[in-house]
A and B are shown apart, each in its own frame.
Chain A
């Protein structure tokens, strides 16, 4: 049984041997990943079902498809991205070749998370492989079935030395963070994000941190409430609310609160039936600890819908809370569960103020038929990303960078951004060893007419 240190050293040796430099080799690995998904889909769905009660639809359409898309997109674009990029010359460099040369960084560590345990670990891995790095994967131990499956099947489809999987929990993560990497990507909580960045600082390792936050969802009075509430309900309650870009809470005028509740409720019943526990499409909380945590957030709150849970199956009903006090616990931490608090604000200005006073979230949502409202909301707040009149979908566009800001993270990935994040863009200037006469003017002694000290 190899130690973590030995595993990392082997990855480094494999990288140094140049195995990942030829584009064709990288593409082969990505194709291996694609084959893994196609051939082992049933096993993946099984693991995701065991961890989070996903079914073949939700596992595929909310996780697996994004990885497949990323692989296809990246394979197609790789030759273009990996090519030297000539840049604009200056007057002094007209005879020269200035360009940017993309290089792999070396050995990348990806520490995955549990809520989308397949896509949030593997999608960044696609970019890291494409950029020519060796990748050490540390999947989250909370989603233990997916972690265990990845540890088994990845070595069957990818180079074992270049792309090892490390299993384990906090002790193993602490151990692996002592090693030196050339980039660390961590997805998870701000608390652990700090620990990761501090460990990285010891080696001057750059980091990408995908953290969380409370993603506000402002529902304007002037909007199509039916559509808005349906979209919000869809994005909020998928995966039983355990999504880092799910709308965390709603901000709306008190005059429409009842309607919002009514329409959310209507959509929830359409999606999951009268009793969501019986719905095949409704997920479960990842573990008892989180179950207790999320249930606790309901305490003392006015429940407009739902509010029940079952500890044995870790089921929590889709729940809507109304007239929520901004000081209460449910508004102090990321919910990461199927509870939708509604906080009343009078108008756009108050909503903007409310949002701006808090940590910058990973995502921000605004529903309105009025473009001015949308423009103002975006202009006067900040967040990792924004979708207007829908939720989540800004994270599905490969040409948009996916990442946080402030407390919600730093750095970004997806598509070309992944390639750039996991590459070093090296500035190059190649001159001929001629034309020495032309350069003489730059050498000392400086012209006599310049002032002397």
Chain B
């Protein structure tokens, strides 16, 4: 029993009919997405609150507004992005028309995660629709309330011959992945990323994988601890730490650690009050399973700040761990929770070496008053993205591509990069039938005389130009 075959067939037929090609159709879809957000704001905020205890502020800033901005940008730029891109010609093609035509791939699958269940479903969707594809969205079954809104409400705002939401857990997703798609966009863990890519390989389907990693946060001795603590704490405990680009651990000297700890405590208290559990601004852990996993990590090193938990509420206090060993679990897996371990290094060199020994992360942070230090960390490491002296602000800049490298992913999106990711860039050269004499030199028989003539011509031009 294949629950997906009919839906996929229907979407494929719609794509083949050509209905998604005109800009008007695509713009109408994007406007539909926009209306979905505007008309269901409260419903969405409630769903996000139910799933992750997201505050209205976090929902607005990191889910709704950010999606709305992507939609607006796509609407504004759609026609410009769709235009054929003329390219410089070489000597042999001066009289031809050379351009890159952006074409939709066809049937696109977007698999979304649970931590930003709205934004990480809609942002890729915007790109895929703008590029003229038909889209199947598989939202995360873990963020149940948002899944429900996406499944029941979202399709009403889009042309359902070209868009479908499919539901299910790992087993159903595996079944879905047996089908052929023309592009797969996956956000989630590296472990599942491998499964997705292997499934895509069977159909030679290109993929973008937005994965995770342990994002290092280097804090130099030369900086103001309170400023750093504010910024690190804000980005670490946002969404209760369940962010793929959150600073995962700090690297600093023991001296800096001593200055950071009180500063972190001060920031946490200012942000969430003396009893963070009662703050409306602190999220909750998505599931019982993750709660247990995170609670287990609290026994690594020792707790310098926080450490309180409440299973009935899936609450974990904003926590800082110190005295952690590299071999302990908290330094072996992506934390994805409100726990911040501090690892000591004795120098910038040691910090860089520590980072380079490990998998390339999705994000990397360096804090220092010295721009030389910041630039050095950048130059001697690799990561999906980088921010000097702040947390994941780099992903709010739409003109920067957002994506990983190595184990943290492949491909990128946001803004125009989304449109380009979901498009095939077709090289086109339009030539005229005339000027046949010019091309005659390329035809056999290739006499030694011809060769001499050509070599001589090249010599005068001092270039090895192809004569096609």
Contact = CB atoms under 8 A, between A and B. Distances in A.
Contact of A446 (B55, B202, B390): B55
Nearest to B190: A204
A57 B451 contact: yes
B422 interface: no
Contacts of B60: 450
A394 B197 CA distance: 31
Interface residues of B, number: 116
Contacts of A433: 223-224, 227-228, 367-369, 389
Given A61-B442, A426-B405, A443-B234, A194 B281 contact: no
9 residue pairs, one from A and one from B, having the closest CB atoms = A446-B57, A197-B201, A57-B446, A201-B197, A385-B427, A444-B281, A394-B429, A400-B427, A427-B400
A384 B427 contact: yes
Main SS class of interface, B: mixed
Contact of B388 (A234, A389, A429): A429
Interface in A277-317: 279-282
7 contacts: A61-B467, A69-B466, A197-B200, A387-B430, A394-B98, A397-B93, A397-B427
Contacts of A200: 197, 201
Main SS class of interface, A: mixed
A382 B103 contact: yes
Interface residues of A, number: 111
A270 B443 contact: yes
Contacts of B402: 427
A430 B374 contact: yes
Interface in A222-265: 223-224, 227-228, 230-231, 234
Contacts of B374: 430
A66 B398 CA distance: 37
Given A101-B378, A374-B430, A399-B98, 15 more contacts: A92-B396, A103-B382, A280-B445, A280-B446, A382-B424, A393-B431, A393-B468, A396-B92, A397-B427, A400-B429, A430-B389, A442-B61, A442-B234, A445-B281, A450-B57
Interface of B: 16, 18, 21, 45-46, 49, 53, 55-58, 60-61, 87-90, 92-93, 96, 98, 100-101, 103, 105-106, 182, 190, 193-194, 197-198, 200-202, 204, 206, 209, 211, 223-224, 226-228, 230-231, 234, 267, 270-273, 279-282, 356, 367-369, 371, 374-375, 378, 382-390, 393-402, 405-407, 409-412, 424-433, 436, 439, 442-446, 450-451, 454, 463-468
A428 B369 contact: no
A87 B385 CA distance: 14
Given A382-B426, A405-B105, A426 B88 contact: no
B444 to A, nearest CB: 4
A398 interface: yes
| Residue of A87, A204, A452 with most chain B CB atoms under a 10 A cut-off | A204
A401 interface: yes
A331 to B, nearest CB: 21
Contacts of B267: 443
Interface in A370-399: 374, 378-380, 382-390, 392-399
A98 interface: yes
B201 A425 contact: no
A105 interface: yes
A194 B270 contact: no
Given A204-B193, A386-B427, A230 B389 contact: no
Contacts of B279: 444-445
Contacts of B58: 446
